[in-house]
Amino acid sequence: MPDILSSSVAGSAAAGFTLAIALIAAIGAQNAFVLRQGLRREHVLPVVAVCAGSDALLIALGIAGMGGATAEHPGALTAVRWFGAAFLLGYAALAARRALRPGALSPADRPPATLGATLLACLAFTYLNPHVYLDTVLLLGGVARQHPHHWVFGAGAALASVVWFTVIGAAAHRLAPVLARPVAWRIIDGTVAVVMVAVAATLLFD
Protein backbone atom coordinates (compact mmCIF):
# COMPACT_ATOMS: atom_id res chain seq x y z
CA MET A 1 0.00 0.00 0.00
CA PRO A 2 2.75 2.55 0.81
CA ASP A 3 4.42 1.74 -2.52
CA ILE A 4 1.18 2.34 -4.39
CA LEU A 5 0.65 5.65 -2.58
CA SER A 6 4.21 6.73 -3.27
CA SER A 7 3.82 5.86 -6.93
CA SER A 8 0.57 7.83 -7.12
CA VAL A 9 2.16 10.89 -5.52
CA ALA A 10 5.17 10.70 -7.84
CA GLY A 11 2.84 10.30 -10.81
CA SER A 12 0.90 13.43 -9.87
CA ALA A 13 4.11 15.42 -9.48
CA ALA A 14 5.45 14.17 -12.82
CA ALA A 15 2.15 14.93 -14.56
CA GLY A 16 2.16 18.48 -13.20
CA PHE A 17 5.78 19.02 -14.21
CA THR A 18 5.23 17.69 -17.74
CA LEU A 19 2.06 19.67 -18.45
CA ALA A 20 3.54 22.89 -17.10
CA ILE A 21 6.71 22.57 -19.18
CA ALA A 22 4.62 22.00 -22.30
CA LEU A 23 2.63 25.18 -21.60
CA ILE A 24 5.36 27.59 -20.52
CA ALA A 25 8.02 26.48 -23.04
CA ALA A 26 6.08 28.05 -25.92
CA ILE A 27 7.84 31.27 -26.89
CA GLY A 28 6.00 34.36 -25.75
CA ALA A 29 6.41 37.82 -24.29
CA GLN A 30 7.48 36.62 -20.85
CA ASN A 31 10.04 34.12 -22.13
CA ALA A 32 11.47 36.68 -24.55
CA PHE A 33 11.79 39.17 -21.69
CA VAL A 34 13.67 36.64 -19.53
CA LEU A 35 15.95 35.82 -22.47
CA ARG A 36 16.76 39.49 -22.96
CA GLN A 37 17.55 39.94 -19.28
CA GLY A 38 19.75 36.86 -19.31
CA LEU A 39 21.57 38.08 -22.40
CA ARG A 40 22.23 41.42 -20.72
CA ARG A 41 23.06 39.68 -17.39
CA GLU A 42 20.79 42.25 -15.79
CA HIS A 43 18.74 41.44 -12.67
CA VAL A 44 18.33 37.82 -13.85
CA LEU A 45 17.75 36.22 -10.44
CA PRO A 46 14.97 38.63 -9.33
CA VAL A 47 13.28 38.26 -12.73
CA VAL A 48 13.37 34.46 -12.52
CA ALA A 49 12.05 34.63 -8.94
CA VAL A 50 9.13 36.87 -9.97
CA CYS A 51 8.20 34.68 -12.95
CA ALA A 52 8.42 31.38 -11.08
CA GLY A 53 6.81 32.75 -7.93
CA SER A 54 3.94 34.23 -9.92
CA ASP A 55 3.30 30.92 -11.64
CA ALA A 56 3.27 29.12 -8.30
CA LEU A 57 0.80 31.65 -6.88
CA LEU A 58 -1.55 31.44 -9.87
CA ILE A 59 -1.42 27.63 -9.93
CA ALA A 60 -2.26 27.57 -6.22
CA LEU A 61 -5.21 29.91 -6.81
CA GLY A 62 -6.46 27.61 -9.54
CA ILE A 63 -6.18 24.53 -7.31
CA ALA A 64 -7.94 26.39 -4.51
CA GLY A 65 -10.94 26.85 -6.79
CA MET A 66 -10.52 30.30 -8.32
CA GLY A 67 -10.61 28.84 -11.82
CA GLY A 68 -14.03 27.32 -11.28
CA ALA A 69 -15.38 30.47 -9.62
CA THR A 70 -14.14 32.63 -12.51
CA ALA A 71 -15.70 30.33 -15.09
CA GLU A 72 -19.11 30.91 -13.46
CA HIS A 73 -19.01 34.62 -14.41
CA PRO A 74 -19.02 34.77 -18.22
CA GLY A 75 -19.16 38.57 -18.22
CA ALA A 76 -15.87 38.80 -16.36
CA LEU A 77 -14.31 36.24 -18.67
CA THR A 78 -15.43 38.23 -21.72
CA ALA A 79 -13.87 41.41 -20.34
CA VAL A 80 -10.61 39.57 -19.60
CA ARG A 81 -10.57 38.11 -23.10
CA TRP A 82 -11.03 41.48 -24.81
CA PHE A 83 -8.52 43.26 -22.57
CA GLY A 84 -6.07 40.41 -22.99
CA ALA A 85 -6.44 40.38 -26.76
CA ALA A 86 -5.73 44.13 -26.87
CA PHE A 87 -2.62 43.69 -24.72
CA LEU A 88 -1.33 40.82 -26.83
CA LEU A 89 -1.94 42.66 -30.10
CA GLY A 90 -0.15 45.71 -28.74
CA TYR A 91 2.84 43.63 -27.73
CA ALA A 92 2.76 41.85 -31.10
CA ALA A 93 3.00 45.24 -32.82
CA LEU A 94 6.03 46.18 -30.71
CA ALA A 95 7.70 42.84 -31.39
CA ALA A 96 7.03 43.18 -35.13
CA ARG A 97 8.51 46.68 -35.08
CA ARG A 98 11.67 45.37 -33.40
CA ALA A 99 11.89 42.55 -35.93
CA LEU A 100 11.74 45.05 -38.80
CA ARG A 101 14.41 47.30 -37.29
CA PRO A 102 17.67 45.38 -36.83
CA GLY A 103 19.26 48.32 -35.07
CA ALA A 104 16.84 47.86 -32.16
CA LEU A 105 17.74 44.21 -31.64
CA SER A 106 21.12 44.55 -29.96
CA PRO A 107 21.26 43.35 -26.34
CA ALA A 108 22.88 46.67 -25.48
CA ASP A 109 20.19 48.74 -27.16
CA ARG A 110 19.51 50.75 -24.02
CA PRO A 111 21.28 51.76 -20.80
CA PRO A 112 21.01 49.32 -17.86
CA ALA A 113 17.58 49.49 -16.24
CA THR A 114 17.08 49.84 -12.52
CA LEU A 115 15.89 46.84 -10.52
CA GLY A 116 12.55 48.53 -9.85
CA ALA A 117 11.89 49.28 -13.52
CA THR A 118 12.90 45.75 -14.51
CA LEU A 119 10.60 44.14 -11.95
CA LEU A 120 7.70 46.38 -12.98
CA ALA A 121 8.18 45.31 -16.59
CA CYS A 122 8.38 41.67 -15.50
CA LEU A 123 5.16 41.99 -13.48
CA ALA A 124 3.43 43.58 -16.48
CA PHE A 125 4.49 40.80 -18.82
CA THR A 126 3.26 38.29 -16.25
CA TYR A 127 -0.02 39.69 -14.93
CA LEU A 128 -1.24 41.69 -17.94
CA ASN A 129 -1.07 38.64 -20.19
CA PRO A 130 -4.39 36.75 -19.90
CA HIS A 131 -2.84 33.68 -21.44
CA VAL A 132 -0.92 33.27 -18.18
CA TYR A 133 -4.23 32.98 -16.32
CA LEU A 134 -5.63 30.57 -18.86
CA ASP A 135 -2.56 28.33 -18.55
CA THR A 136 -2.08 28.48 -14.78
CA VAL A 137 -5.35 29.28 -13.01
CA LEU A 138 -7.80 27.64 -15.40
CA LEU A 139 -5.90 24.84 -17.12
CA LEU A 140 -3.24 23.73 -14.63
CA GLY A 141 -5.49 24.45 -11.66
CA GLY A 142 -8.40 22.61 -13.26
CA VAL A 143 -6.35 19.56 -14.22
CA ALA A 144 -4.73 19.48 -10.77
CA ARG A 145 -8.13 19.33 -9.10
CA GLN A 146 -8.85 16.12 -11.00
CA HIS A 147 -5.78 14.41 -9.54
CA PRO A 148 -6.03 12.64 -6.17
CA HIS A 149 -2.94 14.55 -5.00
CA HIS A 150 -3.77 17.92 -6.52
CA TRP A 151 -1.35 19.93 -4.41
CA VAL A 152 1.45 17.54 -5.36
CA PHE A 153 0.47 18.05 -9.00
CA GLY A 154 0.65 21.80 -8.38
CA ALA A 155 4.07 21.47 -6.76
CA GLY A 156 5.32 19.59 -9.81
CA ALA A 157 3.96 22.32 -12.08
CA ALA A 158 5.55 25.04 -9.95
CA LEU A 159 8.88 23.19 -10.04
CA ALA A 160 8.69 23.10 -13.84
CA SER A 161 8.35 26.88 -13.85
CA VAL A 162 11.39 27.29 -11.58
CA VAL A 163 13.47 24.96 -13.76
CA TRP A 164 12.40 26.54 -17.05
CA PHE A 165 12.98 30.18 -16.12
CA THR A 166 16.26 29.35 -14.37
CA VAL A 167 17.53 27.54 -17.45
CA ILE A 168 16.62 30.22 -19.98
CA GLY A 169 17.82 33.01 -17.69
CA ALA A 170 21.15 31.33 -16.97
CA ALA A 171 21.75 29.95 -20.46
CA ALA A 172 21.01 33.15 -22.37
CA HIS A 173 24.45 34.69 -21.82
CA ARG A 174 26.10 31.45 -22.95
CA LEU A 175 24.21 31.86 -26.22
CA ALA A 176 25.30 35.48 -26.47
CA PRO A 177 27.32 34.97 -29.70
CA VAL A 178 24.10 33.79 -31.38
CA LEU A 179 21.55 35.96 -29.59
CA ALA A 180 23.64 39.10 -30.02
CA ARG A 181 23.14 38.91 -33.80
CA PRO A 182 20.32 41.10 -35.13
CA VAL A 183 19.03 38.21 -37.26
CA ALA A 184 18.54 36.06 -34.14
CA TRP A 185 16.38 38.66 -32.42
CA ARG A 186 14.60 39.32 -35.71
CA ILE A 187 13.57 35.66 -35.72
CA ILE A 188 12.67 35.68 -32.02
CA ASP A 189 10.66 38.88 -32.18
CA GLY A 190 9.01 37.85 -35.43
CA THR A 191 7.97 34.55 -33.87
CA VAL A 192 6.71 36.33 -30.76
CA ALA A 193 4.62 38.69 -32.92
CA VAL A 194 3.03 35.80 -34.85
CA VAL A 195 2.33 33.78 -31.69
CA MET A 196 0.84 36.76 -29.87
CA VAL A 197 -1.49 37.51 -32.79
CA ALA A 198 -2.53 33.86 -32.93
CA VAL A 199 -3.23 33.78 -29.18
CA ALA A 200 -5.20 37.04 -29.40
CA ALA A 201 -7.26 35.57 -32.23
CA THR A 202 -8.12 32.53 -30.13
CA LEU A 203 -9.20 34.81 -27.29
CA LEU A 204 -11.46 36.85 -29.58
CA PHE A 205 -12.96 34.15 -31.78
CA ASP A 206 -12.75 30.83 -29.92
pLDDT at 31: 85
CA-nearest of 160, 155, 129, 130 to 141 is: 155
Task: Look at residue 102 and tell me whether its pLDDT is greater than 60.
Answer: no
Q: What is the C-alpha to C-alpha distance for residues 37 and 44, in angstroms, rounded to an integer? A: 6
Q: Is the Cβ–Cβ distance between 119 and 23 less than 8 Å?
A: no
4, amino acid identity: I
- CA separation for the pair 93, 192 (Å, rounded): 10
pLDDT category at 41 given cuts 50, 70, 90 is: confident
Q: What is the mean pLDDT of residues 28-56?
A: 89
Average of per-residue pLDDT across 119-144: 84
Burial state string for 181-193 with b = 16 or more CB within 10 A and e = fewer than 16: eeeebbebbeebb
pLDDT of residue 12: 83
Check if the beta carbon of residue 205 is closer than 8 Å to that of residue 78.
no
Interior/surface letters 80-103, b for 16+ CB within 10 angstroms, e for the rest: bbeebbebbbebbeebbebbeeee
pTM of the full predicted structure? Answer: 0.69
When the pLDDT of each residue in the chain is averaged and rounded to a whole number, the result is 79
Cα separation of 136 and 70, whole Å? 13
